[in-house]
Amino acid sequence: MSKPVRVRFAPSPTGGLHLGGVRTVLYNYLFARQNNGRFILRIEDTDQQRFVPGAEEYIYESLAWCGLEPDESPKHGGEYGPYRQSERKQIYFEYAQQLVRSGHAYYAFDTPEELEAMRDRLRTDENPSPQYDHRVRTNMKNSLTLPADEVQARIDSGEKFVVRICMPENETVRLMDMIRGEVEFHTGLVDDKVLLKADGMPTYHLAVVVDDYLMKITHAFRGEEWLPSAPVHVLLWRYLSWEKDMPAFAHLPLILGPHGKLSKRDAARYGFPVFVKNWSDPASGELTEGFLERGFLPEAFLNFLALLGWNDGTDQEIFSLEQLVDRFSLERVHSGGARFDFEKAKWFNHEWIRRLPVERLQSDVRPFLNQKGISDPHPSLLARVIALVRDRCTLLSDFYEQSWFFFAAPKQYDTPSLPNWSEKKAQFFLGLADELNAVPTWNSAFIEDAFKKLAAVHAIRPGELQLPLRIMLVGKKFGPPVFDIADLIGQEETCRRIRAAVPVFGNA
């Protein structure tokens, strides 16, 4: 019997959640749901210098908005906790000691100053960034070069040390990647990575292997930027005698911006978000806008994210989360980078705005209206407004501009756009207000009928009168059909707006 599928997303709480990270979450989530497996969120907070307060809660909030709730996490619990690495410190220390005892790792006592001196000594044009590797370690201060009694004395005295993996000098490490096929690495090109830092915290390399083993992770999906670290991880699985339990790996393609890997700098330069939701850096106060605040629906966000590097082999572009669970396959994930197109992302959002039930959209639209001072629109009115203007909205933030006039009368009018305003037209509209005030049934059909009949009485073509009516009701020459606007704002308000606008138009 095959093992139950267990996948994980393991972010560091150092800032906003980038859309590349969410795509990794999404692919993990889809694979887990397809296979009746478990999706685990593990917080990798071992780098205390980069830890940012509030970042962990931000991750939970972001995944909740996306609808990608983990089955196990520090917040949700689970039988393989703790799920926060800072709470597992002693576990990693024991495995680091095991690696030292078996000869696959060693203690290194080099100070930061000694490391920098080594780099200065070995730096050349051909080797601008010297590494601590098999060619260097024999000339450094570590347990491979120092007598055993001196090593122990240094440890007993409390001297700071790190634990480094002892990379083989001339081996080939092979990894079967679920996306890229077999990948080979030459160990002589890989440095002796630090596994345990001087503060006793593990680095990613040791922690990810130990945690994946103890949490019984069966598949590890991560960005391709981790591919160069794969030989270190494969060897750690081997050196700890866990190779038969090593998860299947899939290194996902990069998401590309205008100039290489998509970054926060791209967002600032080109004016589009790259984080799930707004992130305010506690240290600098710098605010980075998120897809949520820009006006994206979570359904659209996940839809376009899924297609950044994957397709199902058809021309279909609109997928619900349930459809993605049904159709997703790693075999159709591309190995090359996927370019982020913000205009295409907005197209997905427009499509989802058009397709979702009005009742579902109300809770998403309401906050954007609230921000602009429309604090408590009646649910029935809001539903009718959304149905009327949704085709004109690409982002949720567009709903205010496309609908504010349903909730408040215009304070200014685009009078320069009035065609040939005259006293005759003024009399028509004053008469129209009286006519509409007496219409027994208030709907767009009756309003239009009364409008056209009165236009015939005044011998004015209806086409000359519709734009002035629109500007009276909206303030500008845009919006849905004008008689639908009148229908929604109501009989009393329509007549009031007409009467208020006539004298303004006459003085323009």
Q: Which tokens is 133 given?
A: 């590797």
The active-site residue, picked from 160, 264, 344, 476, is 264
Q: Which tokens is 485 given?
A: 């606007």
Q: Which tokens is 478 given?
A: 């845009």
For 296-335, the three-class secondary structure string (H helix, E strand, C coil) is CCHHHHHHHHHCCCECCCCCCCCCCHHHHHHHCCHHHECC
Q: Which tokens is 404 given?
A: 């504010």
Question: What are residue 9's phi and psi, to 5 degrees?
Answer: -120, 130
Q: What dihedral angle (degrees, nearest 10) is formed by the CA atoms of 92, 213, 102, 45? A: -20
Q: What is the DSSP string of 98-119?
A: HHHHTTSEEEE---HHHHHHHH
Burial group, residue 97, by CB count within 10 angstroms (0-12, 13-18, 19+): middle
CA–CA separation, 88 vs 122, rounded Å?
A: 37
State which amino acid sits at residue 430.
Answer: L
CA–CA separation, 446 vs 61, rounded Å?
A: 48
CA–CA separation, 395 vs 400, rounded Å?
A: 10
**How many other CB atoms are found less than 10 A from the CB of residue 150?**
13
Q: 264 catalytic, yes or no?
A: yes
**How many other CB atoms are found less than 10 A from the CB of residue 45?**
21
The pairing of strands 105-108 and 162-165 is antiparallel
Contact assessment for residue 340 and residue 257, using Cβ atoms and an 8 Å cutoff:
yes
Kindly give, in sequence order, each residue whose CB lies less than 8 Å from that of residue 48, ignoring residues fewer than 6 positions away: 86, 199, 201
Q: What is the DSSP string of 47-109?
A: -TTT--TTHHHHHHHHHHHHT---SBBTTTB-TT---BGGGGHHHHHHHHHHHHHTTSEEEE-
Residue 260 belongs to what H/E stretch?
A: strand 260-261
Whats the size of the chain, residue-wise? 508
Contact assessment for residue 325 and residue 346, using Cβ atoms and an 8 Å cutoff:
no
Q: What is the DSSP letter of 18?
A: B
Residues involved in catalysis? 264
